[in-house]
Amino acid sequence: MNQSEFLAATLRNPANQIIAEKLFELALPDAWIVSGCLVQTVWNVLTGRATGYGINDYDVFYFDPDTSWEAEDKIIRTLAERFAGRGIAVEARNQARVHLWYPEKHGLPYPELRCSTQGIDRFLTKNTQIGIRRTQEAYEVYAPNGFDDVVDMIVRPNPGPNFSAVNYEAKARRWQRRWRAWTRTCWARDGHAAGNGRRFCALRRHW
C-alpha cells in the first residue's frame, strides 16, 4: 500500500473526510487526524466491514502555544459542538501541553513537544504513528513507518520512554477481539530477553 492508496482508503470513512474539512476550515494550528481512526478504517476496508466499525472516537492533535487548560477546553467544546449533530465523537488534545499532565496521569516521563507530529511519534504502536490533514491543495500524510504494518495488520510495539507494556497488551487484546483475522506473534525487545521477563508482542493478519 502506498500513500495514495492509504489516503483513499481512510477517506472512504465519511467521518475522516468531514473532520479533515472542518479542521481546515477552523484553521486549528498544526491540526491532524491521527492514529486508530485512520488505521482501523483501512482494516475495515481490507476486511469488508463498514468503514466506521470498531471506531470509538476520532483523535485530533493540534499545537497551540497557549498551554492553559481553559484554551484546550474551549477547542474540545467547539469540536464537540461541530460534530455532535453528525454523531462523530472527536477527542482533541493540544500537544503543546501534554507534558504538563501526562507524567502525573500515567506515571511515565513525557518531554515537552515542539509540534504535533512529535506526539504522533510517541504512540504506543508503530502502525498507528500516522496522521492526515487537509491542505489548500489536497491532503498531507505523516507516516514515518510507512504503511506495511497497516496493510499487513501488524500491531508492533513502539518502545520508548513513555511505552507501557501493560497498556500495549490491553490495546492489542481489545483490537484482536474486534478484528479477529489475526494470529499473535511475540519477540523480546531488541532481539534479547527483556529484563522484566516480558516479551513484546504483535498481532499479524492471518488470511
Closest to 37 (Cα-Cα) out of 18, 22, 19, 59: 59
- What does the pLDDT average to over 74-83? 94
Q: What percent of the chain has pLDDT over 70?
A: 87
Q: Which of 56-60, 72-76, 203-207 has the lowest mean pLDDT?
A: 203-207
Do 59 and 33 meet the contact criterion of CB atoms below 8 Å apart?
A: yes
* pTM of the predicted model as reported, rounded to 2 decimal places: 0.88
